[in-house]
Amino acid sequence: MTKLSNAKGQGLLCAFDTPGLEHRKRFGEQCARARVLVVDYGLKSSRFRPHLNINTTEIDHGMNVLPMSMPTCLKHFKESRYGYH
């Protein structure tokens, strides 16, 4: 099973590693469709850096998008020619 790893954060700055570049790309695309901005960092990390006047409704939206976005990108990856076994 593919998992996110190396979760880290302090305050509103949070980040984690995806299994690889293609996973991160798909994850970012899914988040963007849901109007959640994530920033690519390094080879496989994603960061959340919201503006300083973010409200709880916006935070809740972002937290709801995460679990919906990752399975979609993992499913696509498994079905692609780059899939893993």
pLDDT score, position 55: 92
- The secondary structure of 35-70 as a DSSP string is T---EEETTTEEEE---TT--HHHHHHHHHHHHHHH
Under the banding of pLDDT at 50, 70 and 90, the label for residue 82 is very low
pLDDT score, position 83: 43
**11-64: pLDDT as tens digits:** 888 888 888 888 888 888 888 898 888 899 888 899 988 888 999 999 888 888
Question: Could you tell me the two tokens for 30?
Answer: 């899914």
The Cα–Cα gap between 61 and 35 comes to 9
Q: Is the pLDDT of residue 5 over 60?
A: yes
pLDDT score, position 85: 36
Q: Which residues contact 22 (CB under 8 A, 6 or more apart)?
A: 77, 80, 82
CATH of 5-79, one of 3.30.420.40, 3.40.720.10, 3.90.1150.10, 2.10.109.10: 3.90.1150.10
